Structure 1
Amino acid sequence: MDISMMSLLTLLPMVAILNLITNQSHFLMTLLSLEGITLSLVLFVPISLSLINISNPMVSVILLTFGACEASIGLSLLVLMSRSYGTDMLSSLTVNKC
């Protein structure tokens, strides 16, 4: 594998984590950042394991399973939040309603 490809795969989770930290206004943007982290790890972990001569195809299946579970839970929370509050703004969760 090319060094530039490996550095790109190393950079993808970091960019997704930076996006998660900076874009915390909408719940949907937070979920998309988490999906970016999951998908970059699905690419990064098996390739990095193959570089050290450990080939385990089940790692990709496990990561994809966790990604699908995370996406379904996040989508159900987004629907619940938009039905309850009428918006997906995270700032609406911290407002005290007296």
Structure 2
Amino acid sequence: MWFFSIAGVGVIGVLIGGVCLMAQRKSLFGVLLSMEVFTLGVYVVIFSMVWFLSGLNSICLVFLAFGVCEAALGLSVLVSLVRSTGSDYVGSLVLGHF
């Protein structure tokens, strides 16, 4: 029974991350944070499935490594955007400027 509660927390995290991702229109930092919530929710669901089925434990580490790579790339894009334009607002971008 505890499997459904842990998986439910993961599903709620995925839903909250998705709603926040769709609601963000201005700031790149907010988009990156909502993507991290989304990734964390998916990780919780995968971890609960692996724990419940007593299966392949290394898939959690592989997914976590991809999540870290996604966060590092997002942070580098954010730093590059702030250095070039002075803010993290997506609306202030011009296609040829970045």
After superposition, the Cα gap between the structure-2 partners of 1:95 and 1:88, relative to the gap in structure 1 and judged at 3 Å, is same
Which SS does the other structure have where 1:78 is aligned?
Answer: helix
Could you tell me the percent identity over the aligned residues? 27
- What is the rounded CA distance, in whole Å, between the counterparts of 1:12 and 1:41 in structure 2? 8
Q: Which residue of 1 aligns with 2:13?
A: 12
Which ranges of 4 or more aligned residues in structure 1 deviate by more than 6 Å?
none
Deviation digits for residues 8-55 of structure 1 (CA, Å, limit 9, x no counterpart): 22211111111100022100000011111111111111212443x251
Determine whether 1:64 maps to 2:64: yes
Pairs within 5 Å for 1:3-82: 3-51=4-52, 53=53, 55-82=55-82
Aligned residues: 96
C-alpha distance in structure 2 between counterparts of 1:60 and 1:49, whole Å = 8
